[in-house]
Chain A
Amino acid sequence: MATAEVEKRRNHLAALSFVAVVVVLGIPMWLRTTTTYRAWLPMAQIQELAELQLLLSTDVEVVFARGTLTPEQQKKIPVMHSRDEAHTIDETDLSMHTLSESPCGSLVVYVIPQSSPLLPQDVDVYVGQRRMALLRVDANMKAGKSLHQVLAALEPQVKEVLQVMSFSHDDITAALSDRVRLSPGSSQSKADSMRTFKSSPGYEITFSLLNPDPKWHNVYWDMEGAVRTYVQPLLSKLNPVANFSVDSQTLHYTMLGVNSRFDANHSAYTLSADSLAHVINPVEARLGSNAASSNPVLNFLLYVPDAQHSPLHILDNQKQKVTSNAFHSPRWGGIMVYNVYGYYGSDEIAFDININMVKVMGVFLSQLR
């Protein structure tokens, strides 16, 4: 039983209290409970990582041979052992390495007396394999000087030797430049960095012979012999690095996915450089693979074009014929087109292509490298 004025005011107040609760309580609660969680990243520290210096450290051991130090000086150095020298540098290297008690991976610098026959006369320093170096001491170092002075005099020479023997920043950069892009470079360096294969314990190499027209061409290749002669030496040299397994196959009725055009300039059918990219995909579907292993596969294909499309040449970017008539795709393999000349005129043609395995293998090997 209130007047209209009071009623209206009450209505407004009631509505306002609703809004107040929603704004004061509701919106902050909504904001707090429904924001996505953002993890805090230490950007400063991440930036620092980009400039991180690579620190490689090794132990260095300096061994004084008999006769380099006077007996007094010798007393102050803990005597490890004494041994007889070998007679040539190489033998020294090997024997020292096998006899050495220093921990694996450390550099050893041997200081030998002036009169030692190990090094030729005017050579003072020899850096050997197996992390060893020989340093000839000066004649005037021995007499009358204390141990500290002798060591101080030797120090710059030892340092120089060590610097030669160890990796520097430039060495590492050069070694890794294939894999790691050190700075955003040109497209060429990008392409180069993508060219190398990811390292894996083993690789599979597959050689395939593609014959689109077995009715007219009866091709045959002597794979085993070719592999033995040409490919195996390379693989044996690479054996410590990875295992290789080689297999081969022949595929009939496989077409290239691309139509080659007859080019009057070269009086041959041609495949231009940009159409090469489309060749691989349809062909790859038909290539069987040895599915038993998880190693990456390198495919090398030899394509013999059929009579309608002979001869077939590949053109590079400047529309010139590629001499080897082959192209390769990084990390996948290569394709070579083998044109058969001058065998026409009869219906049934069968021939083998042994002889030109040389050419083929040469191409393949260069692609494999």
Chain B
Amino acid sequence: MATPLSLLLIVAVTIRAALFRSTLAHLIAERVEVTSPLTAWKRVVEGLALLDLGVSPYAGDVFHETPLIIYIFHFLVDYAEVTFMLADVMVAVALYYAVRDYNKQVFRKQKFALEADRYPADCHELVRSPAEMHYVPLKVAMFYLLNPFTVLSCVAKSTCGLNNAVVSLFILSTVKGNVLLSAIFLALATYQSIYPLTLCAAALLYLMQRQFIPINACRLSFWWFVAQYAFMYLGSLFVMVGLSFFLLGSWDFLPAVYGFILSVPDLTPNIGLFWYFFAEMFEHFRLFFLCVFQINVFIYTVPLSIKLKEHPVFLIFMQLAIMAIFKSYPTVGDVSLYMAFLPVWSHLSRFLRNVSLVSFVLLTCSALFPVLWHLWIYAGSANANFYYATTLIFNLAQILLMCDYFYAFLRREHHLVHGLYPKRKDGSEATLVLK
């Protein structure tokens, strides 16, 4: 199993190295779909230069990454390409082992359920076999490494790759059941950008199920575990923020990083939904819409975690997708992270309804982005509306993809309880309708 993985890694590294050496690297690094004001490599270099001059790197509203990135690249700036390739490799390896472990657990649960005869008689098609699950981790690693979005993101040296690495390490430690590491990596991910906070609920659910703690608000053990996890999480977050303060000697990274993420002052076009709205809004209502948009990212956490209480890994997938669509400065690197999970749910393919539509739209939009950008900025014959329309459709396709998988997942669960071919009382065939 390791050999195909190493082969894959070698192939991926080769592709990236080849692109790094070509002239395309410079071109890709300027694309707004791949880099955002938060993650651009150009800005990291600016921040490092400012630090060398003795000025705070956050002066002048150029650099918006955390001091940790400064610290890392202060030593590694000459090996930046290697760093980003290593980050991608780390993501792939972490996801590989995480998915392998997850599959083992899924299989074990399924075995128990089969022995307890909990599945209806006609659900044999839905039961998963080890044979089909054997290559899923490799597929996950492949989906991540060979995804054009990921390759572009790595070649552009966008720090999104590093954020993805931290999130994938968090997923690995959660799936392995290590509470402390899970809390630490989640704190690190939240420290990098605020939105991984929503993964907290999923991590809690998974860890509690793994330790057989009943998820019941009336039980003391539930709250005790939540308190432990919260303590570890907040403690590591506090330590990281404190370390950042001591690293640079001032608190101005707080408004520059978190204030920037939350208040969206920079309206450079990207593949997100914020920039166009806020470009044309009246000042009086800006705060209101800002609150609405930011609440929109966090509002799905609680309902989704209620609904998907028994499937926390799917919940993580959903949360990653929501973050990638609704965050304030998304890039294609965020999109590629949740797309890496799609092979894990490949058994749902019989219930997916919009596969062709979603795939065509995503492909078309990815092709349209550079075209309309060129038409808007360089040729002057299009305008912002064209580009934003493409953004809208791209996000719409992602939302549709997410909803599709959600529907398919729930439908499979429903079939596992109520049988695959539902019959009416008189024995004739009935159809399922989604209400």
Partners in one complex: yes
The interface of chain A, by Cβ under 8 A from chain B, is: 1-4, 10-11, 13-15, 17-18, 21-22, 25-26, 29-30, 33-34, 36
Query: Can you name the residue of chain A whose Cβ is closest to the Cβ of B414?
Result: A7
The interface of chain B, by Cβ under 8 A from chain A, is: 113, 118, 284-285, 287-288, 291-292, 295, 299, 302-304, 306-307, 309-310, 413, 416-417
Are A34 and B288 in contact, CB atoms less than 8 angstroms apart? yes
Other CB < 8 Å A-B pairs besides A17-B303, A18-B299, 18 of them?
A1-B413, A2-B417, A4-B417, A10-B306, A10-B307, A14-B303, A14-B304, A14-B306, A18-B303, A21-B302, A22-B299, A26-B292, A26-B295, A29-B295, A30-B288, A33-B291, A34-B285, A36-B284
Known interface pairs A1-B413, A2-B310; A15-B303 also in contact (CB < 8 Å): yes
Residues of A near B302 (CB, < 8 A) are 14, 17, 21
Are A1 and B416 in contact, CB atoms less than 8 angstroms apart? yes
Are B306 and A17 in contact, CB atoms less than 8 angstroms apart? yes
Complex CA gap A4/B118 in Å reads 15
Complex CA gap A25/B288 in Å reads 12
The residue that A1 contacts in the complex, of B118, B303, B306, B307, with Cβ under 8 A, is B118
Known interface pairs A17-B302, A17-B303, A18-B299; A1-B310 also in contact (CB < 8 Å): yes
Are B288 and A29 in contact, CB atoms less than 8 angstroms apart? yes
A293 to chain B, nearest CB (A): 43
The residue that B307 contacts in the complex, of A4, A14, A26, A30, with Cβ under 8 A, is A14
Are B287 and A33 in contact, CB atoms less than 8 angstroms apart? yes
Complex CA gap A331/B58 in Å reads 65
Are A33 and B285 in contact, CB atoms less than 8 angstroms apart? yes
Residues of A near B416 (CB, < 8 A) are 1
Residues of B near A4 (CB, < 8 A) are 417
Complex CA gap A17/B288 in Å reads 21
Complex CA gap A14/B308 in Å reads 10
Complex CA gap A14/B306 in Å reads 6
A17 to chain B, nearest CB (A): 4
Query: Can you name the residue of chain A whose Cβ is closest to the Cβ of B287?
Result: A33
Residues of B near A33 (CB, < 8 A) are 285, 287-288, 291
Are A11 and B295 in contact, CB atoms less than 8 angstroms apart? no
Q: Enumerate 8 A-B pairs (CB-CB under 8 Å) in ascending A order.
A: A10-B306, A13-B306, A14-B307, A15-B303, A17-B302, A21-B302, A22-B299, A33-B285
Known interface pairs A1-B113, A30-B288; A25-B413 also in contact (CB < 8 Å): no
Complex CA gap A2/B414 in Å reads 8
B303 to chain A, nearest CB (A): 4
Are A1 and B299 in contact, CB atoms less than 8 angstroms apart? no
Residues of A near B295 (CB, < 8 A) are 21, 25-26, 29
B215 to chain A, nearest CB (A): 12
Complex CA gap A22/B304 in Å reads 16
Query: Can you name the residue of chain B whose Cβ is closest to the Cβ of A36?
Result: B284
B125 to chain A, nearest CB (A): 17
Residues of B near A22 (CB, < 8 A) are 299
Complex CA gap A10/B118 in Å reads 21
Residues of B near A1 (CB, < 8 A) are 113, 118, 310, 413, 416-417
Residues of B near A14 (CB, < 8 A) are 302-304, 306-307
Complex CA gap A365/B288 in Å reads 66
Query: Can you name the residue of chain A whose Cβ is closest to the Cβ of B289?
Result: A33
Query: Can you name the residue of chain A whose Cβ is closest to the Cβ of B307?
Result: A14
Complex CA gap A177/B306 in Å reads 78
* Most chain A CB neighbours (cut-off 10 Å) among B118, B299, B304, B306: B306
A9 to chain B, nearest CB (A): 10
B362 to chain A, nearest CB (A): 28
* Most chain B CB neighbours (cut-off 10 Å) among A4, A17, A22, A25: A17
Query: Can you name the residue of chain A whose Cβ is closest to the Cβ of B303?
Result: A14
Residues of A near B292 (CB, < 8 A) are 26
Complex CA gap A120/B310 in Å reads 119
A31 to chain B, nearest CB (A): 10
Complex CA gap A29/B306 in Å reads 25
Residues of B near A30 (CB, < 8 A) are 288
Residues of A near B304 (CB, < 8 A) are 14
* Most chain A CB neighbours (cut-off 10 Å) among B113, B287, B307: B307
Query: Can you name the residue of chain B whose Cβ is closest to the Cβ of A6?
Result: B309
Residues of B near A10 (CB, < 8 A) are 306-307, 309
Query: Can you name the residue of chain A whose Cβ is closest to the Cβ of B413?
Result: A1
Complex CA gap A2/B308 in Å reads 11
Residues of B near A21 (CB, < 8 A) are 295, 299, 302
Complex CA gap A290/B295 in Å reads 65
B105 to chain A, nearest CB (A): 15
A174 to chain B, nearest CB (A): 50
A61 to chain B, nearest CB (A): 61
Are A3 and B307 in contact, CB atoms less than 8 angstroms apart? no
Complex CA gap A1/B414 in Å reads 7
Residues of A near B287 (CB, < 8 A) are 33
Query: Can you name the residue of chain A whose Cβ is closest to the Cβ of B410?
Result: A7
* Most chain B CB neighbours (cut-off 10 Å) among A11, A14, A18: A14
A257 to chain B, nearest CB (A): 48
Closest 8 CB pairs of A and B: A14-B303, A33-B288, A17-B302, A14-B306, A33-B287, A14-B307, A29-B291, A17-B303
Are A11 and B307 in contact, CB atoms less than 8 angstroms apart? yes
A10 to chain B, nearest CB (A): 6
B295 to chain A, nearest CB (A): 6
Query: Can you name the residue of chain A whose Cβ is closest to the Cβ of B118?
Result: A1
Complex CA gap A29/B113 in Å reads 47
* Most chain B CB neighbours (cut-off 10 Å) among A1, A4, A21, A30: A1
B309 to chain A, nearest CB (A): 7
A178 to chain B, nearest CB (A): 45
A13 to chain B, nearest CB (A): 5
B34 to chain A, nearest CB (A): 33
